[in-house]
Amino acid sequence: MSLPLKELIKIGEKQLEDVGITDAARDAKLLYCFFDKLDSVGLMMHWQDVLQDNQCEGYFALIERRAAGEPLQYITGTQDFMGLTFQVNSDVLIPRQDTETMVEDCIELIKKGTLRGSDYIKAQSTKDILDLCCGSGAIGVSLANLCDNIKVTCSDVSDRALVVAEKNAQANGCKSVKFEKSDLFSAFCSKFRKKKFDLIISNPPYIESSVIPTLQREVKDYEPMIALDGGEDGLEFYRRIACEAAEHLNKNGIIMVEIGYNQGEAVTCLFEETEKFADITCLKDLAGKDRIVVAKLSTKK
C-alpha cells in the first residue's frame, strides 16, 4: 500500500473523528508533523507526496495512541506555554492556557507592582520567587525566562516531576532556577529558620476526588492523579497553603494560587480565616470564570 500524504492524513482524521476526538483534523495533521519532523510549512510542501507502507504504519501507530485517549502532548512530548516549549510526559500535568493567565498576572506584579492595572505592591520589591507544586516547571521557568533579576525556586513532592522541570529549565536557558523536593513547605522549614520568599505562586492539585472519574479520559486516564486530586472537597492543598504560607513570605510578600472555577469564595475564605493576609483578590480567566486568588501578607501583627 502506498498513499498520498493528504489521503493518509484524511484517514487519520476519520479514525480520530470516529472515536469522538474533538480536534480530529488538527491532531491528525500535528501527529504527522511530529512523525515526519515537519512544521506546518513543511507539511504543505509535502502535501502531494506519496508515502510508502512503513511510513503509513508509523503514522497510524500514533493515530491509534491518540484514538485510545492519550493526550496529543504526551505523544509529541511537548506543550507550548508562554511562548516557550516545555517537555511533558505522564509524570507531569500538561500546562494549561488558564495557567498562562496567572503567569501573566504574576509578571505584571513583578515588573510593575500592579494587578490588572491597579496598584497592588511597590514595584521592584519582588525578587525571590517560589513555584510551589511546580510539575513540569511551566510557571517557574516562564517567570525566570521572562523577568530579569529574579531568583526562582521550583518545588514539588514528585521526584519524577522535578526531573522534567529541571530539563525544562535547561532547555529554556534558565540555569539559575533552583529545585527542591518538598511536600508543600516541608523542605523550607529547618529547625532554626524558615526559608522566605517575596512571592509564592502555585497551581496545586484542586479537583474534588469524586469529580475525577467524570473528567475527560485524556485527563483521568493519563495525567498524574497526584497533580489533580485535591482531596474530598478539592481544597486540601489550599487549606495547608493558607495555614503555612505566611511564615514563608517576606514583608509585603504575595501568595498567588490557581483555583477551580467554583472555588473562589472558599479559597478566599481560607486565606481570610488565617487573619494573616490583606487585599485578598479573586481574578477571572479568559472565559470569565474565577481562576486565581492573590493575597498580600498583612502588615498588622
**Site for ligand GLN, rule CB under 6 A:** 93, 96, 203-207, 219, 228
Least distance in Å: CB of 146 to ligand GLN? 21
Angle between helices 53-67 and 5-18 (to 10 degrees): 20
Least distance in Å: CB of 73 to ligand GLN? 13
Q: Is 236 helix (H, G, I), strand (E, B) or coil?
A: helix
Least distance in Å: CB of 259 to ligand GLN? 9
Least distance in Å: CB of 113 to ligand GLN? 27
What residues pair up with 80 in beta bridges, in sequence order? 85
Least distance in Å: CB of 96 to ligand GLN? 5
- Closest to ligand GLN by CB, 225 or 278: 225
Place of cell 494587578: 115
- Closest to ligand GLN by CB, 140 or 205: 205
Using alpha carbons, select from 256, 300, 263, 301 the residue that is nearest to residue 281. 256
Q: Which amino acid is at 153?
A: T
- Closest to ligand GLN by CB, 144 or 228: 228
Whole-number Cα distances in Å, 145 to 11, 55, 169: 40, 38, 9
- Closest to ligand GLN by CB, 98 or 244: 98
Place of cell 489533580: 228
Give the Cα separation of 234 and 256 in Å (integer): 17
Tell me the residue length of the chain. Answer: 301
- Closest to ligand GLN by CB, 96 or 196: 96
